[in-house]
Chain A
Amino acid sequence: MSVTTASTIGLTSRNVDPGFGALLQSEWTKLRSLRSTWIMVSLAIGLSIGFSALIALTSGLTHDSWNDDVRAAFDPVLTTNSGSLFGCILLIVLGVTAVTSEYSSRMVRTTFIVNPRRYQVFAAKAMVVGLLGLVITAISIPGMFLVSQPIFGHYGLETASVTDSATYRILIIIILTQVLNYALIPFSIAWLLRGTASAITVSLGFLWLPWMLGPILPVWVKQNVLRYLPDVATNSLSGITKADTAQYLGQTPAVMVIAIWLTGLLAAAAFVLNRRDV
């Protein structure tokens, strides 16, 4: 038994700070070791690209009968983004369950027993979730674009090239803002609410209700409320919301709105986590 005692002393003397890198590794192990993570990643990429291909095909098949309004609304870059609906829902689920699965299994206690520095654990998890979300959007957004162009071309619709700087810029904006809005904002909400169903519901409502209710709301609400919400601001940035509409926000203010919401919610979540009993 003296051997074990010796090893105890040995390990204790190496009682050094594991560092932030160790936490990143740990959070990545948590995420990658669940099959559900990979199902979500594949669904997010597969469904969004598949759906965009389908929309491109229907556009091609029906464009002869389009009226002028629909024709004017067609955009060879933004129309390809229609499949994002699925990608975004799955990003929300990913961001939320990365947190709430720890609460529902009560494993969160072990998380903070093995490493009691809550701010660092929070930051490591946010980074890992954000990076995985970025992998998803960095594949799905260009994927949706690339799969749609040959279909548009085949049916004689206007096409865009990824090498075109305007196109390039829009795709990058969407890749980045989708991760921030749909993975990291729900991630923060999940820490605050701690339940899967409630966090997903609140995230969906917060991100999409303004977008769904937008058309029926008075101009005053659009100008003073809606355009300061993260998802609406994102649409101003990517050009989905046109400059002549009431909820349009200039580029710099739009970036600021997104940054303030994101940092505000992340900070609130981290603050509450640090104070609350787990």
Chain B
Amino acid sequence: MITATGLTKRYGSTVAVDGLTFEVKPGIVTGFLGPNGAGKTTSMRLILGLDKATEGTVTVNGHSYRDKRAPMQEIGALIDPSAVHGGRSAYSHLLWQAQSGGLPRHRVDEVLESVGLTDVAGKKVGGFSLGMHQRLGIASALLGDPPVLLFDEPVNGLDPEGIQWVRSLMRRFADEGRTVFISSHMMSEMEQTADHVLVIGRGRLVADLPMDEFMQRSAHSHVKIVSLRAHDLIPHLEANGALVTNGTVNELTVTGLDAPAIGAIAFEQGIPLNELSLQRASLETAFMELTHDSVEFRADRGPARDVAFA
């Protein structure tokens, strides 16, 4: 369980994380979402005791990370898979970590096996591909076989196969009963893996709710109708309080009435329908709307910059 209370981090006048209060509950996958620069990585660094909070506290299983004696057996983290010394072999890279955490040497072989790096264990890390770095980083996180796992943008830069692998791994960790906390700036990543989401924008918590609720609440659903007599239907729908917009000649987009109600109206009026379907806005759109006000660098600053250059 990770608990943040009023967590704030300022670098000079820049506020990276602003009064975050949340809980990462045990045994589920919690997605930590936000656009780039929203403060996700800073929050992770604060959780892991790398950075010191300006205000507020964050604890892992009730204790501040820096007070821990053997944190590897409590929480495993992947924050920057490329942060390895290229001259060291994968085996040595994991060995020094295992030793530092007081873990037995056979754990190194076990985690190498579980991420599929056994064959390259003796090879220098400098020659590893992005995907192999990611596997090595995940191996590090698994060394202590911890009940809590924390991953910062684990699919960043991976090929589709790698993304698939990471996703299934996250799901497996959760199924094993571990607490998984994953940050991502891509909503679609979370759609299949997360049970709960924390959305952050400009350092502030924007949403904290179960995934399905998040999907329902943020999906501005509307109903699409295709009918050859679509126009005849409009007044009847509007009379029942619907908002109707025209697509193509035979197509209507309706909000304010659900599909069964629209079907019933069409039936009453004897208007045949070719299509009646619920359209859900993508999560990506919902996410954009949620964080719209909080994106740090907005594209609409463009013209001002042009003027400045002129």
Given contacts A105-B86, A110-B83, contact A16 B70 (CB under 8 A): yes
Q: Chain B's nearest CB lies how many Å from the CB of A30?
A: 5
The number of chain A residues touching the other chain, given as a range, is: 35 or more
In the bound assembly, the distance between CA atoms of A107 and B80 in angstroms comes to 9
Please measure, in the bound complex, the distance between the C-alpha atom of A1 and the C-alpha atom of B27, giving whole angstroms: 14
In the bound assembly, the distance between CA atoms of A239 and B139 in angstroms comes to: 54
B282-297 vs A: 1/0 string, CB under 8 Å?
0000000000000000
- B87–A22 contact, CB under 8 A? no
**Chain A residues near B73 (CB, 8 Å)?**
11-12, 14-15
Contact of A25 among B72, B79, B92, B99 (CB under 8 A): B99
Q: Interface residues of B: mostly helix, strand, loop or mixed?
A: loop
Give the nearest-CB partner of A33 in chain B. B92
Q: Flag if A112 contacts B50 (CB, 8 Å).
A: yes
Bound state CA distance, A22 and B87, in angstroms?
Answer: 22
Q: Pick the residue among A7, A14, A35, A105 that contacts B84 (CB under 8 A).
A: A105
Q: A116 near B71 (CB under 8 angstroms)?
A: yes
* A34 and B72 within 8 A (CB): no
Answer whether residue B14 sits at the interface, using C-beta atoms and an 8 A cutoff: no
B20-65 interface with A by 8 A CB criterion? 45, 48-52, 65
Bound together, the chains give a CA A27 to CA B70 distance in angstroms of: 16
- Tell me whether A8 and B146 are in contact in the complex, defined as CB-CB below 8 angstroms, given that A106-B83, A109-B50 are known contacts: yes
B101 touches A115 (CB 8 A): yes
- A1–B172 CB distance below 8 A: yes
Per-residue interface assignment for chain B, residues 74 to 85, with 1 indicating a CB less than 8 Å from any chain A CB and 0 otherwise:
100101101111
Mask: chain A, 1-23; 1 = CB below 8 Å from B; 0 = not: 10011011001101111110011
Beta-carbon contact of B74 and A113 below 8 Å: no
Closest beta carbon of chain A to B48's beta carbon, Å: 5
Counting CB contacts under 8 A, is B68 at the interface? yes
- Kindly name the residue among A5, A19, A113 whose own CB sees the greatest number of chain B CB atoms within 10 A: A113
Is the CB–CB distance between A107 and B101 below 8 Å? no
B66 and A116 within 8 A (CB)? yes
- Chain B residues with CB below 8 A from A117, complex form: 66, 69
Q: Are the CB atoms of A114 and B71 closer together than 8 Å?
A: yes
- Contact of B127 with A by CB under 8 A: no
Check: A29 CB closer than 8 A to any chain B CB: yes
Contact B96 A15 (CB under 8 A): no
Interface check B213, CB cutoff 8 A: no
Q: Is the Cβ of A105 less than 8 Å from the Cβ of B85? A: yes
**B140 CB-CB contact with A under 8 Å:** yes
**CB-based nearest A residue for B66:** A116
Residues of A participating in the B interface, judged by any CB pair closer than 8 Å: 1, 4-5, 7-8, 11-12, 14-19, 22-23, 25-27, 29-30, 33-36, 101-102, 105-107, 109-117, 121, 275, 277-278
- Besides A15-B70, A116-B65, 13 more A-B contacts (Cβ < 8 Å) are A5-B177, A8-B177, A11-B146, A12-B73, A12-B74, A29-B95, A30-B92, A34-B88, A105-B86, A110-B84, A113-B49, A115-B71, A116-B49
Closest 5 CB pairs of A and B: A18-B102, A33-B92, A106-B83, A26-B100, A26-B99
